[in-house]
A = this chain, B = another copy of it.
Amino acid sequence: MIVGGGFAGLNAAQALRRAPVQITLVDRRNFHLFQPLLYQVATGGLSPANIAAPLRGILRRQRNVQVLLGEVVDFDPAARTVILNDGQLEYDMLLVAAGVQPSYFGKEEWEPLAPGLKTIEDATEIRRRIFVAFEAAERETDPEKRKALLTFVIVGGGPTGVELAGALAEIARYTLRREFRTIDPAEAKLVLVEMADSILGTFPEPLRQKATQSLERLGVTVRTKTSVAEIQPGEVVLRTADGARSVLPARTVLWSAGVKATPLAERLAERTGAERDKAGRIVIQPDLSIQGRPEIMVLGDMSHCRGAEGKPLPGLAPVAIQQGRYAARAIRQRLRGQKPPPFRYRDLGIMATIGRSAAVAVLWGWKLSGFVAWVLWLFIHLMQLVMFQNRLLVFVQWAFLYFTFNRSARLITGGGGGKAEAQESPPKPPQS
């Protein structure tokens, strides 16, 4: 039984292709989502389907897998059953890879004001907010309100925050250029807020510097050593490391400051006595199983797995993929009566893109930046997409984006039946 069809769950299922096992893959979605490109859906560059691949389609030829659409809500390890919101399923061996969700560090009331980016629905909602803000600014006559509509705050300077900020800068500077009659979208103020000394804390120093410079060249204000003290409709209160507070009127706030395990991890820990870390992730053994529960393995972002230097492995696609493949190998070894060796993560590197023609990357031990890193970023992400059709569609859209700056997927959909509401209070009409 595999819970979750993300990188870990899908790779585990695929690597068990020739194993003498019957696999049930349960996911509450009918598709595998390529999360590293989700920010491009949120910024109108790609359509949701371009980065999603139907799980049934991927696994159709693998006869030992049954894919089920269902929402797992609890576990009963004694009875070896997984409990869905509408039934239950039995297992012999359980792999749980249910991922993470945005964490607001106890300020959950900020969620509606500052959405995070983990699902397709998150992405289309963020897309709606970004483009509605420009639309409302075009109709706003009060200069103060207009300024707030054109101020975008991104909280959290990790790869997702940096990529969102870069894409937003491109939208404001290039995509929307000449499309408005009252406002100049290039006047939009983009603020990237990061609590630590520097953005991209997981990258080595020269690359952090390079990324900051690239963002600033695109017009993004990078505010490090700054945290969010409060979020209210229409404003964000920032606090610097020395305690000074400042109020920033801003209508659009995006959250990429951190993640935590889903409530499912809490259930699993309760039922198995497993330890959880501060982010709610389940602390696992070197063979990815839960202590005292060798038949339950936890994979991917949901797990807290110590790497070679004793630090927990980061929540990256390569970690999840390698864990999924390891789990499959470990199951095959156990079926042969062998004891699996501990999981070892082979570090493939990290990368982040900053708008067009710029990226930073650590690959094979090399530090790369600028155009070379960007081309590598494009190539690696394109090749990682699951279906060939999606590779082609993404390639076509990237080519158009590069040459025409157009973002054809910038639709305002959902959110109160497509009404042009600007989040909280409606904008005033212009004098026509």
Contacts and interface: CB of A to CB of B under 8 A. Distances in A.
Q: Chain B CB within 10 Å — which of A91, A119, A139 has the most? A: A139
Interface stretch (A68-76, A268-276, A358-366): A68-76
Interface string A396-432: 1100100010101111111001111100001111111
B57 A406 contact: yes
Nearest to A31: B411
Given A61-B178, A90-B432, A420-B28, A396 B393 contact: yes
A56 B413 contact: no
B139 A69 contact: yes
A131 interface: yes
Nearest to A59: B179
A158 B432 CA distance: 41
A111 interface: no
A179 B429 contact: no
Given A28-B418, A56-B179, A413-B48, A85 B426 contact: yes
A132 interface: yes
Interface in A168-194: 176, 178-182
Contact of A87 (B70, B132, B429): B429
Contacts of A86: 420-421, 426-429
Counting chain B CB atoms within 10 Å of each CB, which of A56, A414, A421, A430 scores highest? Answer: A56
Contacts of A412: 29-31, 69
Contact of A54 (B28, B57, B61, B410): B410
Given A135-B69, A176-B56, A432-B89, A389 B418 contact: no
Contacts of A136: 69
Contacts of A47: 47-50, 409
Interface in A129-188: 131-132, 135-136, 138-139, 176, 178-182
A333 interface: no
B393 A66 contact: no
A408 B389 contact: yes
Contacts of A54: 408, 410-411
Contacts of A426: 85-87
Interface residues of A, number: 75
Nearest to A124: B413
B418 A57 contact: no
A420 B86 CA distance: 9
A344 to B, nearest CB: 33
Contact of A69 (B48, B182, B410, B420): B420
Nearest to A83: B429
Given A29-B418, A393-B397, A420-B28, A409 B69 contact: no
Contacts of A28: 418-420
A53 interface: yes
A176 B387 CA distance: 16
Given A56-B179, A57-B179, A420 B390 contact: no
Contacts of A230: none
A69 B132 contact: yes
Contacts of A56: 176, 179-180
A375 interface: no
Contact of A71 (B87, B389, B419): B419
A267 interface: no
A390 B47 CA distance: 12
15 contacts: A1-B432, A49-B409, A56-B176, A60-B179, A68-B430, A69-B412, A71-B420, A85-B419, A86-B426, A86-B429, A89-B432, A121-B413, A121-B414, A389-B400, A393-B396
Given A60-B179, A71-B419, A121-B418, 5 more contacts: A28-B418, A29-B418, A86-B426, A87-B427, A121-B413
9 tightest CB-CB pairs across the interface, nearest first? A87-B429, A86-B426, A47-B47, A49-B409, A69-B135, A56-B179, A69-B420, A66-B181, A89-B432
